[in-house]
Structure 1
Amino acid sequence: MLAVSLAAHAQPPDPADASLADARRAVRVADCARCHGKDYDGLAAPSIVGFARTQSRERFIAAVLDGNPSMGMPAYRGIPLIESRIDAIYDYFASTVPRRE
């Protein structure tokens, strides 16, 4: 009876949460932390979190998809893992990655 009661109150998974989890996995596979640090707040390369929070969505997407090869940033345009999730990746960095205080 308790199992039925709990199941009746279970919330369906939030598609936004699933999208952000998928974005997080793509970022890990692309190994962004290698240059941007484990918290993506800068290491050998600038902070992705800071960039996403200070730039427009369009500027962020262009920077990721077009890269900056002269500075060592690869272009991800044509890479389905990133390109198909780019909006969720922006959302992940702009609002989901915990801010370090």
Structure 2
Amino acid sequence: MTRRAVRFAIAGVFGVSSSAHAQAPAAADASLIDGWRAVRIADCARCHGKDHEGLAAPSIVGFARTQSRERFIAAILDGNPEQGMPAYRGNPLIENHIDAIYRYFAARADGSVAAGAMPGRASDTATTLE
């Protein structure tokens, strides 16, 4: 059972039925999906690997795990041309979705979104409750 399913089951048992609780997971899923799509369109996998865990370039997932939100966003927008990482500042696809991209990789880093998964699909989300 997913964390989301557990939350809804608990909410049902305790009679919690506010619309804010019902809409929060959907809004979060939409944001994660936006980030996932932007990363796919930008084709980050060509350097960072199929699951963005490293190939010719370092792991984006590992970077999200160890860096602050501000450092993560600066690294993407400013790039590191000396190391082959392009700057995405001025790229509307990335700039308009930078917070969603960060949330996607933060979710990958904490295990709430599985490698290779499209966020929001029940069959693709991590299912452990550790």
What TM bracket, shorter-length normalisation? 0.7 to 0.9
1:19 is matched with which residue? 31
Q: Which structure exhibits the higher relative contact order, with contacts defined as CA atoms closer than 8 Å and separated by 6 or more residues?
A: 2
Figure out how many residues of one structure are paired with residues of the other and give that number: 89
Superposition misfits of 4+ residues, deviation over 4 angstroms = none
1:31 is matched with which residue? 43
Quick one: distance in 1 between partners of 2:66 and 2:114? 16
Identity of aligned residues (%): 76
1:8 is matched with which residue? none
Does residue 58 (structure 1) correspond to residue 74 (structure 2)? The answer is no
Q: What is the CA-CA distance between 1:88 and the residue it aligns to?
A: 1.0
Q: What is the CA-CA distance between 1:98 and the residue it aligns to?
A: 2.2
| Larger displacement relative to structure 2 (42-51 or 14-23) | 14-23
RMSD: 1.5
Q: Output the TM-score relative to the length of structure 2.
A: 0.64
- Residue from 99, 104, 121 that aligns with 1:92: 104
1:68 is matched with which residue? 80
Q: What is the CA-CA distance between 1:83 and the residue it aligns to?
A: 0.6
Q: Output the TM-score relative to the length of structure 1.
A: 0.82
